[in-house]
Structure 1
Amino acid sequence: MFKLAFMQNAFLVATVISILCGVIGVFIIARQLSFLTHTLSEIGFSGASFGLWLGWTPLNGMLSFTIISALVAGCLGRDKPLKGTVISVISAFFMGLGVLFLTTAKSGSSYATNILFGSIVGISSQDVQQIVVIAGLELVVMFFLYRQLKFDFFDPIGAQTSFRHSWILNLIFLVMMSLSVSVVSQIVGALLVFALLTLPAASAQFWGRSVHALTLWSVGFALVGTWLGLVLGYWTNLPVTFFITTIETLIYLVSAGLGRLR
């Protein structure tokens, strides 16, 4: 299995993205941004379709749409967060726009399936390099902003009194979240991106008692889901996305059950 080039690429991308999801997911759960994550993934679907329409790679189109959307959301929500109704309207509009771009691009149903549900074993070498670079840069930024993010996301009242420009930090985080949505979509697809960005971190809440512990548990759960999902997908020839989402869901259910017992 590991002698095959496409499986080597798949495991490399899965490992890097799992670490990124484990780290950034803790802050997504803390700020309750799961709904916005799902919306960005649907905007990313539209961006990927737009990229195909222009002749770009789906990843580049997705990156352009999600980054612009994150910047707009950060600026509009500077004084108060966007309402759920507004986010729902935006989400519905971009899903329809994505269908339009796919139809006019005439790229075929296989492209639509890959965008919506991911195709990690079919990632090109160019995409692998781009994903690793983006995820690596995000992890570097998270390393330098970790203390500020921890303070702002887990103690927002205290952060408001000591950090006067916290909205800048939130804007940076939204951009990083948009980048994460784009790269994670390459594994699980635009519709299931929240599985890796939120489920491992949500499961970690039942095990960790500090931000450091939450991050370690979250990264561990994400790695287990992606690695085991790739192995099972290779053995059974069934979609890797199915196994990843199922494993992460089972981890969450078991964690929640044990948490209640304790």
Structure 2
Amino acid sequence: MTLADSVWHQIFAFDNYGELLTLVRNSLVVGAALGLVGGLAGVFVIMRDLPFAVHGISELSFAGASAALLAGVNIVGGSIAGSLVAAGAIGVLGARARDRNSVIGILMPFGLGLGVLFLALYKGRAANKFGLLTGQIVAVDTPQTAWLLGTSALVLVVLVVIWRPLTFASADPEVAEARGVPVRSLSFVFMLALGLTVALSVQVVGALLVLTLVVTPAAAAARVTASPVLLPLLSVVFAVVSIEGGILLALGGSIPISPYVTTISFALYVACRLVGGRRTRRRGARRTVPRLA
């Protein structure tokens, strides 16, 4: 076997694929739920310019999950606790963009440092350590599935309840506040919902690549539509396709799931950017064509 064949077999190998599918049944269900909440939350992440906040929350989520792994307790619970601490701190201390970015810049290295410390102290399987950073697909057992689906349902309910006022507050916060919309309260509630979404995403794609589920699908959808209905719908579809496709492809290989998910998500973004750019050029050409007398 040549080197190229060996590398290809590590990335794509479908021997006994049908039997392996039974190992990721829970992951496929959880992936669909994460794609739903990640795609919806991502719409507001783009509208409110919060990609940096997503990354900051993921570092504290990683620290919480690492602490739970070290203590031998529920990893999902630890990840959620870390995310909520970060999201709450950003929501309370970072009302303005400049303050928010400063807070995030402080939280990120602190969370990453704590996570590395806890993993260094952990003496268990190395795969558990690696999975927190880069994701894993077969470690979602039944108790974790219940946690993840229950938390996804909670996030979905919160987003549905606050969707309309949050959209208004995100598009024009000054006018929304003047009309009595509780802009600051909505912002804080959304940050907590975003924290839960990030914690869920960490369980599948790892702390380092959460942006690919919470940011990239919505950014891709925004390149082709500004419709308040079609934008969240496309964002959810892109997120679900990325995570489900990543799980199915990673199942046949011997490398973590994250490269597959990120590649699919990035490919969708590039395709949407090309389509959006072509539409923009066509509109520009129509406007510059001189009218005949």
Cα RMSD after superposing both structures: 1.8
Secondary structure at 1:211 match in 2? coil
Distance 1:8 1:181, change over 3 A: same
206-215 vs 240-249, which moves further = 206-215
**Separation in structure 1 between the aligned mates of residue 208 and residue 261 of structure 2, nearest angstrom:** 13
Change (3 A) 1:259 1:85: same
Q: 1:261 to 1:67 in 2, by over 3 A?
A: same
Would the aligned equivalents of 1:45 and 1:62 in 2 still touch at CA under 8 Å? yes
Identity, in percent, stands at 32
Deviations 1:204-238 (A, max 9, x none): 00122222211001011111112221222223444
Aligned to 1:127: 144
Cα displacement (A) at 1:3: 8.3
The number of aligned residues is: 262
1:127 shift after superposition: 0.5
Q: 1:17-47, CA deviations, whole angstroms, 9 ceiling, x for partnerless residues?
A: 1011111100011101000100110111111
Helix, strand or coil: the match of 2:90?
A: helix
3-state DSSP class of the match of 1:209?
coil
Q: Which residue of 2 aligns with 1:173?
A: 190
Deviation of the 1:123 alpha carbon: 0.9
Distance 2:95 2:246 in 1: 39
Match of 1:187 in 2: 204
| 2:222 corresponds to which of 201, 205, 227 | 205
Change (3 A) 1:148 1:244: same
- Are 2:261 and 1:261 equivalent residues in the alignment? no
In structure 2, the residue matched to 1:29 is: 46
Segment of structure 1 superposing worse, 190-199 or 207-216: 207-216
* 1:215 partner SS: helix
Following superposition, the deviation at residue 187 of structure 1 comes to 1.0
Please, what TM-score do these two structures have when normalized by structure 1? 0.94
Q: Can you give the 5+ residue segments of structure 2 that lack an aligned partner in the other structure?
A: 1-17, 280-293
Partners of 2:172 and 2:188 lie apart in 1 by 17
1:150 aligns with 2:190: no
Show the counterpart of 2:9.
none
Shift of residue 56 of structure 1? 1.3
What is the identity, as a one-letter code, of the residue corresponding to 1:29? I
Look up the SS of the partner of 2:223 in the other structure.
coil
Contact 1:151 1:159 in 2 (8 A): yes
Distance, in Å, in 2 between the alignment partners of 1:58 and 1:104 is 16
| SS, match of residue 99 in structure 2 | coil
Q: Which residue of 1 aligns with 2:178?
A: 161
Mean Cα displacement is larger for which, 242-251 or 208-217? 208-217
1:106-151 residue CA offsets vs partner (Å, 9 max, x unmatched): 2342221011011122211111111001001111111111111111
Q: Which residue of 2 aligns with 1:104?
A: 121
Q: Secondary structure at the match of 2:252?
A: helix
